[in-house]
Structure 1
Amino acid sequence: MSTSTRASRVAATREAIIAAAERLFAEQGVAAVSNRQISEAAGQGNNTAVGYHFGTKADLVRAIIRGHMEHIERARVERLDAMGEEPGLREWVECFVMPTMDHLGALGERTWFARFAAQVLTDPAMRDVIAAEAMEAPSLRQVTAGLNACLPDLPPEVRAERDEMVRQLVVIVPAAREARIAGGAPTARDTWHEAGLGLVDAIVGLYGAEYTELRELPP
């Protein structure tokens, strides 16, 4: 077997494992799925294929996230480059939300990435992986700086509270929509792009809403 043929087979095996793992993790949760189940779903006779090609389950989760983040990061950088000189709050929120929503729309009719991300976020052993891989993307640092400039009057503790709400929304809302589509249920908006704009509306309203002063926590 030539080196190029072997490399092609290895690449195909890795892609099959990634596709199978993403689907199984999305449908069942990360902790509930074994490497053996993934290997079988990927058509691999060797039950150690996952460990051989990826190492730990966390490494496999990281590989899935990186495969999607490459496209999302590229789209976000393009949006940043196209921004005007003085973008407002909505422009920054769109830059945060829309690359992921449009990426989901580009994946085809059947997608698992949104539910996969939600499963990882709610898994205590894995949530730090998605935080490190998705939330620390270079373009997001620029988005965060832009949001900071648009929200100077929000007290730090209120801003932190709303940032956490937003992080939950941008994962759970797409996952819920993806689940409805997978189950054949109707959705309020026809496309992922339109759904993204609705999510942007909600986040802009969340950041701009009035707030109640938070009580001081005891030392």
Structure 2
Amino acid sequence: MDIAKQFDTLWYQGTSLAVVALVTGSALAVAYGSAAPRIAEAQARKTQAALAEVLPKDSFDNELMSDTIVVKDADGREVRVYRARKAGTVTGVVFGMENKGYSGTIKLVMGVDLDGRLTGVRVTGHTETPGLGDKIELGKNPWVLSFTGKSLGDPAPAMWAVKKDGGVFDQFAGATITPRAVVSAVKRGLELYAGKRDLMVADTAPRS
């Protein structure tokens, strides 16, 4: 058999591709393994910054990432809660919520003080339409700041909706579904806090 022709067979091509893929995959695995600690550290810093952004300045002096507790929402899903402490005393909590938007899942983080008032809300992930739904990002529009200071009783529960639905929150021209989803997620977050407050703010030892 002509060795040169053997190189042209599908069997050889497939085997060659498999070998190349194996070698490449191994190399990438080694590279990722050595970079993993740095990636994890960078992600931790990013998460810590996002958590701190929805809390009042100087309202905590602990490591938020290592002071957590897990609770379950109304659907039985686990929600990790980060507790803010000042001189050892819990001053508020931060946790994430999500909801289905116009073109995908919208993820957000929200801070709540001991009285159940929002200290801040930030959208951390979405795939909404650029120029329309992406106005939920603080960098694109200050709309998300309208949640600060709000609670389940202010406005009244029935008013936790966009204005088009009879609520108090603005919607975006051509993109009502997106802000509606965010408002709903934040309200559900406040309801979760109201139902799990004692557990969330319990002055127990920090655990990760």
Give the number of the structure whose residues are more often strand, by fraction: 2
The TM tier, using the shorter chain, reads: under 0.3
Q: TM-score, normalised by structure 2?
A: 0.26
TM-score, structure 1 length as denominator? 0.25
State which structure, 1 or 2, has the greater radius of gyration over its C-alpha atoms.
Answer: 2
**Larger RCO (CA within 8 A; separation ≥ 6):** 1
Please state which structure has a larger fraction of its residues in helix.
1
